[in-house]
Amino acid sequence: MKMNFIPFRLRLVSLSFLIWGPLLALEALLISGSASFKLSFRNTFIGSMIALGLTLCLTLVVVSGRRWTRYVIISLAGIWIIGSLFSSLIARDSNLGFFSVFLLLFLTMQYQFLKAELNKAYLDSELKWYQLFSKPIPGLSCEIHCDKEKGSFQVTKLDADGAFLLPSRQKVKSSPAALSSTLGSQLIRSPSFPISFRFQGEKFSCKARTVLSMKKALGIGIQFLEIEGDQEKDIEDFLEKLKIRGLLPN
């Protein structure tokens, strides 16, 4: 999986994890100031610098858009919250107690924002570990024009922000690297291109850009651009029709 463009909201969510470093440093200072724990300033400083380095690594992992990162985040956050609560109980320190409650609320909110962003259609192919290809939405087709090239795609996931596309099934069977063609290269390089979706006589068109491309070029995640006014209502109506047919979750 390769990120060709990092969406703005994913950047914001990723940068929010840099706050973990100062929070860990603050908690270390609270613990070192408690009578129940004996931590020197030197050890506290070293621990804080290590924590800062780890949060920088964590931020780089999150910004890569890999969906498994949310399991890493929830595991680390759970360990941190439990450790913080345990420390506050041992120390019987009200400041540590308030910090633990704040930490619980902050990390829960942060995880929800991360989960919502990683569930965007342009980052989620819905490919299971046992599948070679994602399952396309029946009856929904997509067509892209880019620099005089034209291609037809199947859609595996669609929402108001974007979609995840696969080359037509027959092309994938004949050539596993279907998107490494001229069209595929142009889609990855182009800052924007026109795209249209069709379903049972209904059509929705807009501009889009490539956010993510799968290994072996077997699929791309695209983000919609310049969705406003009538186009916003058009895509809402288009998605509602798919939801009524049971092809999209409510």
Is 149 a member of any domain? yes
For residues 27 and 69, state if they share a domain: yes
The pLDDT confidence band at residue 170, using thresholds 50, 70 and 90, is: very low
Q: What is the mean pLDDT of residues 51-73?
A: 82
- For residue 157, give the nearest of 172, 176, 179, 142 by alpha carbon: 142
For residues 186 and 98, state if they share a domain: no
The pLDDT value given to residue 168: 72
| Tens of pLDDT, residues 100-149 | 999 999 999 999 999 999 899 898 877 766 666 678 889 898 988 877 77
| Residue 215, CA distances (Å) to 35, 41, 184, 219, 220 in order | 54, 48, 12, 8, 10
The amino acid occupying position 79 is I
Tell me: pLDDT of 243 over 80: yes
- Token pair 């029946």 in the structure block, residue: 138
Is 163 a member of any domain? yes
Contact 139, 199 (CB under 8 A): yes
For residues 105 and 155, state if they share a domain: no
Is 126 a member of any domain? no
Instruction: Say how many domains are in the chain.
Output: 2
Is 131 a member of any domain? no
How many angstroms separate the CA atoms of 56 and 50, rounded? 10
For residues 9 and 113, state if they share a domain: yes
| Residue 53, CA distances (Å) to 21, 22, 50, 58, 60 in order | 8, 11, 5, 9, 11
Is 250 a member of any domain? no
The amino acid occupying position 28 is A
The pLDDT value given to residue 233: 87
The pLDDT confidence band at residue 171, using thresholds 50, 70 and 90, is: very low
Q: What is the mean pLDDT of residues 6-13?
A: 90
Q: Taking each helix axis from N to C terminus, what angle separates 8-16 and 41-63, rounded to the nearest 10 degrees?
A: 160
For residues 13 and 112, state if they share a domain: yes
Q: CATH number of the domain at 159, please.
A: 2.40.10.220
Tell me: pLDDT of 60 over 90: no
- For all residues of the chain together, what is the average pLDDT? 81
Structure tokens at 1: 């999986």
Domain span at residue 98?
2-119
Q: What's 4's DSSP letter?
A: S
The pLDDT value given to residue 101: 92
For residues 158 and 99, state if they share a domain: no
The pLDDT value given to residue 42: 67
| Tens of pLDDT, residues 19-55 | 888 888 788 778 776 655 565 666 666 766 777 777 7
Query: Cα angle vertex 249, ends 244, 250, to 5°?
Result: 70
Cβ atoms within 10 A of the Cβ of 172, count? 19
Which pTM does this prediction carry?
A: 0.79
For residues 62 and 168, state if they share a domain: no
The pLDDT value given to residue 64: 82
Is 133 a member of any domain? no
Sign of CA dihedral 189, 190, 191, 196: negative
For residues 239 and 161, state if they share a domain: yes
Is 103 a member of any domain? yes
Is 130 a member of any domain? no
User: Pick from 57, 86, 119: which residue ends a domain?
Assistant: 119
